[in-house]
Amino acid sequence: MFIVSLIAAPGALEPELVHGLRNAWGGGDALWLSPDEAAEFAIAEVPANQWDVWADVQARGVDLVVQAAEGRRKHVLLADMDSTMIRQECIDELAELAGVGEQVRATTARAMNGELDFEEAVIERVGLLRGQPEGIIADVLATRITLTPGGAELVATMRANGGYAALVSGGFTAFTQHVGETLGFDENRANGLTVENGVLTGEVARPILGRDAKVAAMTEITDRLNLSPSDVLAVGDGANDLGMLARAGTGVALHAKPAVAAECDVRVNHGDLTALLYLQGYSRDAFVTK
Protein backbone atom coordinates (compact mmCIF):
# COMPACT_ATOMS: atom_id res chain seq x y z
CA MET A 1 0.00 0.00 0.00
CA PHE A 2 1.18 3.52 -0.84
CA ILE A 3 0.18 6.95 0.37
CA VAL A 4 -0.24 9.91 -1.97
CA SER A 5 0.36 13.24 -0.21
CA LEU A 6 -0.65 16.59 -1.68
CA ILE A 7 0.69 19.65 0.16
CA ALA A 8 0.54 23.37 -0.64
CA ALA A 9 0.77 26.71 1.06
CA PRO A 10 -2.19 27.30 3.41
CA GLY A 11 -5.34 27.90 1.40
CA ALA A 12 -3.80 26.84 -1.90
CA LEU A 13 -4.84 23.16 -2.11
CA GLU A 14 -8.11 22.85 -4.00
CA PRO A 15 -10.44 19.97 -3.05
CA GLU A 16 -11.21 19.45 -6.74
CA LEU A 17 -7.55 18.65 -7.42
CA VAL A 18 -7.36 16.14 -4.56
CA HIS A 19 -10.56 14.33 -5.46
CA GLY A 20 -9.82 14.38 -9.18
CA LEU A 21 -6.43 12.75 -8.66
CA ARG A 22 -7.85 10.25 -6.20
CA ASN A 23 -10.44 9.20 -8.76
CA ALA A 24 -7.88 9.04 -11.60
CA TRP A 25 -5.55 6.84 -9.56
CA GLY A 26 -8.23 4.68 -7.99
CA GLY A 27 -7.38 5.78 -4.49
CA GLY A 28 -9.19 5.42 -1.20
CA ASP A 29 -11.04 8.16 0.61
CA ALA A 30 -9.17 11.43 0.92
CA LEU A 31 -8.05 12.35 4.43
CA TRP A 32 -7.57 16.07 5.01
CA LEU A 33 -4.67 16.72 7.37
CA SER A 34 -5.24 20.46 7.13
CA PRO A 35 -8.11 22.11 5.24
CA ASP A 36 -7.02 23.48 1.86
CA GLU A 37 -3.36 22.75 2.70
CA ALA A 38 -2.62 19.02 3.03
CA ALA A 39 -4.46 15.85 2.10
CA GLU A 40 -3.63 12.21 1.47
CA PHE A 41 -5.15 9.01 0.15
CA ALA A 42 -4.06 5.41 -0.23
CA ILE A 43 -3.37 3.57 -3.51
CA ALA A 44 -2.43 -0.01 -4.27
CA GLU A 45 0.54 0.68 -6.57
CA VAL A 46 2.72 3.55 -7.77
CA PRO A 47 1.13 5.10 -10.90
CA ALA A 48 3.13 4.97 -14.11
CA ASN A 49 2.42 8.66 -14.74
CA GLN A 50 3.53 9.83 -11.27
CA TRP A 51 6.13 12.31 -12.50
CA ASP A 52 3.97 13.70 -15.28
CA VAL A 53 1.30 14.44 -12.70
CA TRP A 54 3.94 15.81 -10.33
CA ALA A 55 4.99 18.35 -12.97
CA ASP A 56 1.37 19.33 -13.58
CA VAL A 57 0.57 19.97 -9.92
CA GLN A 58 3.88 21.75 -9.34
CA ALA A 59 2.70 24.33 -11.83
CA ARG A 60 -0.34 24.81 -9.60
CA GLY A 61 1.76 25.35 -6.47
CA VAL A 62 1.26 21.87 -5.05
CA ASP A 63 3.79 19.30 -3.88
CA LEU A 64 3.04 15.64 -4.65
CA VAL A 65 4.72 12.71 -2.92
CA VAL A 66 4.04 8.98 -3.32
CA GLN A 67 5.60 6.76 -0.67
CA ALA A 68 5.12 3.40 1.00
CA ALA A 69 2.54 3.52 3.77
CA GLU A 70 4.47 1.20 6.07
CA GLY A 71 7.11 2.89 8.18
CA ARG A 72 6.59 6.44 6.95
CA ARG A 73 6.48 7.86 10.48
CA LYS A 74 10.14 8.24 11.44
CA HIS A 75 12.03 8.14 14.74
CA VAL A 76 14.97 10.40 13.85
CA LEU A 77 15.09 13.84 12.23
CA LEU A 78 18.45 14.61 10.61
CA ALA A 79 18.40 18.17 9.33
CA ASP A 80 20.71 20.48 7.44
CA MET A 81 20.74 24.05 8.77
CA ASP A 82 21.56 26.64 6.09
CA SER A 83 18.66 27.26 3.68
CA THR A 84 16.82 24.44 5.46
CA MET A 85 16.14 25.12 9.16
CA ILE A 86 17.08 28.75 8.57
CA ARG A 87 16.47 30.82 5.46
CA GLN A 88 20.04 32.00 4.97
CA GLU A 89 23.52 30.66 4.29
CA CYS A 90 25.54 31.77 7.33
CA ILE A 91 28.82 32.05 5.44
CA ASP A 92 27.15 34.39 2.95
CA GLU A 93 25.79 36.61 5.72
CA LEU A 94 29.19 36.77 7.42
CA ALA A 95 30.72 37.69 4.09
CA GLU A 96 28.23 40.51 3.54
CA LEU A 97 29.26 42.17 6.78
CA ALA A 98 32.92 41.53 5.94
CA GLY A 99 32.56 43.25 2.57
CA VAL A 100 33.15 40.16 0.41
CA GLY A 101 29.54 39.11 -0.04
CA GLU A 102 29.35 38.98 -3.82
CA GLN A 103 32.44 36.77 -4.16
CA VAL A 104 31.37 34.38 -1.41
CA ARG A 105 27.74 34.06 -2.54
CA ALA A 106 28.85 33.00 -6.00
CA THR A 107 31.08 30.29 -4.54
CA THR A 108 28.34 29.11 -2.18
CA ALA A 109 25.84 28.75 -5.02
CA ARG A 110 28.27 26.66 -7.07
CA ALA A 111 29.18 24.47 -4.09
CA MET A 112 25.54 23.80 -3.20
CA ASN A 113 24.85 22.84 -6.81
CA GLY A 114 27.69 20.31 -6.65
CA GLU A 115 29.89 22.24 -9.09
CA LEU A 116 32.76 22.64 -6.59
CA ASP A 117 34.42 20.40 -4.03
CA PHE A 118 32.64 21.20 -0.77
CA GLU A 119 35.68 21.20 1.52
CA GLU A 120 37.74 23.33 -0.84
CA ALA A 121 34.85 25.79 -1.12
CA VAL A 122 34.57 26.04 2.68
CA ILE A 123 38.30 26.68 3.04
CA GLU A 124 38.27 29.32 0.29
CA ARG A 125 35.29 31.23 1.67
CA VAL A 126 36.37 31.15 5.31
CA GLY A 127 39.80 32.39 4.25
CA LEU A 128 38.17 35.61 3.06
CA LEU A 129 36.97 36.25 6.63
CA ARG A 130 40.50 36.41 8.02
CA GLY A 131 40.97 39.37 10.35
CA GLN A 132 37.27 39.95 11.06
CA PRO A 133 36.33 40.50 14.73
CA GLU A 134 34.72 37.50 16.44
CA GLY A 135 31.76 39.74 17.23
CA ILE A 136 30.70 39.56 13.58
CA ILE A 137 29.12 36.18 14.40
CA ALA A 138 26.85 37.67 17.07
CA ASP A 139 25.96 40.50 14.71
CA VAL A 140 24.86 38.07 12.00
CA LEU A 141 22.84 35.99 14.47
CA ALA A 142 21.09 39.06 15.81
CA THR A 143 20.33 40.85 12.57
CA ARG A 144 20.49 38.54 9.55
CA ILE A 145 19.28 35.04 10.51
CA THR A 146 15.62 33.99 10.35
CA LEU A 147 14.10 30.58 11.05
CA THR A 148 12.31 28.70 8.29
CA PRO A 149 8.56 28.53 9.05
CA GLY A 150 7.41 25.23 10.50
CA GLY A 151 10.78 24.23 11.94
CA ALA A 152 9.78 24.56 15.58
CA GLU A 153 6.64 22.49 15.02
CA LEU A 154 8.58 19.83 13.10
CA VAL A 155 11.15 19.33 15.85
CA ALA A 156 8.73 19.58 18.76
CA THR A 157 6.16 17.21 17.23
CA MET A 158 8.67 14.53 16.34
CA ARG A 159 10.31 14.72 19.77
CA ALA A 160 6.94 14.65 21.54
CA ASN A 161 6.24 11.41 19.68
CA GLY A 162 9.46 9.76 20.81
CA GLY A 163 11.73 11.04 18.05
CA TYR A 164 15.31 12.28 18.19
CA ALA A 165 16.40 15.45 16.37
CA ALA A 166 19.93 16.18 15.16
CA LEU A 167 21.08 19.31 13.35
CA VAL A 168 23.99 18.35 11.08
CA SER A 169 25.48 21.21 9.11
CA GLY A 170 28.39 21.99 6.85
CA GLY A 171 28.17 25.46 8.41
CA PHE A 172 29.53 26.52 11.76
CA THR A 173 29.00 25.53 15.40
CA ALA A 174 28.54 29.16 16.46
CA PHE A 175 25.30 29.07 14.48
CA THR A 176 24.15 25.46 14.96
CA GLN A 177 24.40 25.80 18.74
CA HIS A 178 22.11 28.83 18.69
CA VAL A 179 19.67 27.45 16.11
CA GLY A 180 19.68 23.99 17.68
CA GLU A 181 18.88 25.37 21.13
CA THR A 182 16.22 27.72 19.78
CA LEU A 183 14.41 24.94 17.91
CA GLY A 184 14.90 22.24 20.54
CA PHE A 185 17.25 19.85 18.73
CA ASP A 186 18.79 17.09 20.82
CA GLU A 187 22.23 17.67 19.33
CA ASN A 188 24.04 19.67 16.68
CA ARG A 189 27.18 19.10 14.63
CA ALA A 190 29.03 21.55 12.39
CA ASN A 191 32.42 23.04 11.59
CA GLY A 192 34.43 25.25 13.92
CA LEU A 193 35.69 28.70 13.00
CA THR A 194 39.07 29.24 14.67
CA VAL A 195 39.54 32.44 16.66
CA GLU A 196 42.69 34.00 18.14
CA ASN A 197 42.66 37.09 20.36
CA GLY A 198 39.06 37.82 19.39
CA VAL A 199 39.73 37.73 15.65
CA LEU A 200 38.78 35.15 13.02
CA THR A 201 41.92 33.46 11.68
CA GLY A 202 40.38 32.50 8.34
CA GLU A 203 40.84 28.82 9.19
CA VAL A 204 38.35 25.99 9.69
CA ALA A 205 38.93 23.39 12.39
CA ARG A 206 39.67 19.95 10.98
CA PRO A 207 38.21 17.58 10.06
CA ILE A 208 35.72 19.52 7.94
CA LEU A 209 32.17 18.27 8.23
CA GLY A 210 30.78 17.71 4.73
CA ARG A 211 28.81 15.14 2.78
CA ASP A 212 30.53 12.03 4.18
CA ALA A 213 30.39 13.35 7.73
CA LYS A 214 26.62 13.78 7.48
CA VAL A 215 26.25 10.14 6.47
CA ALA A 216 28.58 9.15 9.30
CA ALA A 217 26.45 11.15 11.73
CA MET A 218 23.39 9.23 10.61
CA THR A 219 25.15 5.93 11.20
CA GLU A 220 26.47 6.97 14.62
CA ILE A 221 23.13 8.29 15.81
CA THR A 222 21.03 5.35 14.60
CA ASP A 223 23.52 2.83 16.00
CA ARG A 224 23.43 4.60 19.37
CA LEU A 225 19.63 4.55 19.39
CA ASN A 226 19.42 0.93 18.15
CA LEU A 227 17.71 2.12 14.99
CA SER A 228 18.58 1.99 11.29
CA PRO A 229 18.78 4.55 8.46
CA SER A 230 15.28 3.45 7.43
CA ASP A 231 14.04 5.11 10.65
CA VAL A 232 15.46 8.49 9.60
CA LEU A 233 13.76 11.48 8.03
CA ALA A 234 16.55 13.61 6.52
CA VAL A 235 16.08 17.05 5.02
CA GLY A 236 18.42 19.34 3.12
CA ASP A 237 18.84 21.47 0.04
CA GLY A 238 22.45 21.24 -1.18
CA ALA A 239 24.78 18.80 -2.88
CA ASN A 240 26.54 18.00 0.40
CA ASP A 241 23.20 16.68 1.70
CA LEU A 242 22.74 14.10 -1.06
CA GLY A 243 24.52 11.32 0.81
CA MET A 244 22.25 11.47 3.83
CA LEU A 245 19.15 12.10 1.71
CA ALA A 246 19.84 8.96 -0.33
CA ARG A 247 20.55 6.79 2.70
CA ALA A 248 17.66 7.91 4.92
CA GLY A 249 14.35 6.10 4.99
CA THR A 250 12.82 9.36 3.77
CA GLY A 251 15.13 11.96 2.23
CA VAL A 252 13.44 15.29 1.57
CA ALA A 253 14.85 17.87 -0.84
CA LEU A 254 13.45 21.10 0.62
CA HIS A 255 13.32 24.06 -1.78
CA ALA A 256 16.47 22.44 -3.11
CA LYS A 257 18.92 23.35 -5.81
CA PRO A 258 17.77 21.81 -9.15
CA ALA A 259 20.68 19.38 -9.31
CA VAL A 260 19.81 18.15 -5.80
CA ALA A 261 16.06 17.86 -6.35
CA ALA A 262 16.68 15.79 -9.47
CA GLU A 263 18.31 13.12 -7.29
CA CYS A 264 15.44 12.88 -4.78
CA ASP A 265 12.00 11.31 -5.02
CA VAL A 266 10.60 13.40 -2.15
CA ARG A 267 10.63 17.10 -3.02
CA VAL A 268 9.00 19.96 -1.15
CA ASN A 269 9.01 23.17 -3.18
CA HIS A 270 5.85 24.93 -2.00
CA GLY A 271 5.19 23.89 1.60
CA ASP A 272 7.26 24.87 4.62
CA LEU A 273 8.85 22.52 7.16
CA THR A 274 5.45 21.37 8.43
CA ALA A 275 5.20 19.51 5.12
CA LEU A 276 7.56 16.94 6.67
CA LEU A 277 4.95 16.27 9.34
CA TYR A 278 2.17 15.92 6.79
CA LEU A 279 4.32 13.41 4.89
CA GLN A 280 4.40 11.29 8.04
CA GLY A 281 0.62 11.45 8.44
CA TYR A 282 0.41 14.04 11.20
CA SER A 283 -2.62 16.33 11.01
CA ARG A 284 -2.29 20.00 11.88
CA ASP A 285 -4.24 19.55 15.12
CA ALA A 286 -1.57 17.03 16.21
CA PHE A 287 1.28 19.52 15.81
CA VAL A 288 3.20 20.38 18.97
CA THR A 289 4.81 23.77 19.57
CA LYS A 290 7.88 24.18 21.72
Catalytic residue numbers, as ranges: 80, 82
Burial of 183 (0-12, 13-18, 19+ CB in 10 A): buried
Q: Give me the residues paired with residue 76 across strands.
A: 164, 232
What is the distance, to the nearest Å, from the Cα of residue 95 to the centroid of all Cα atoms in its chain?
A: 23
Count Cα neighbours of 121 within 13 Å in the Cβ-side half-sphere. Answer: 25
Q: Are 268 and 275 in contact (CB under 8 A)?
A: yes
What is the C-alpha to C-alpha distance for residues 190 and 241, in angstroms, rounded to an integer?
13
Measured between alpha carbons, how far is residue 184 from residues 122, 137, 188, 238, 245 in Å?
A: 27, 21, 10, 23, 22
Residue 141 C-beta-side C-alpha neighbours within 13 Å: 15
Distance CA 213, CA 216 (A): 5
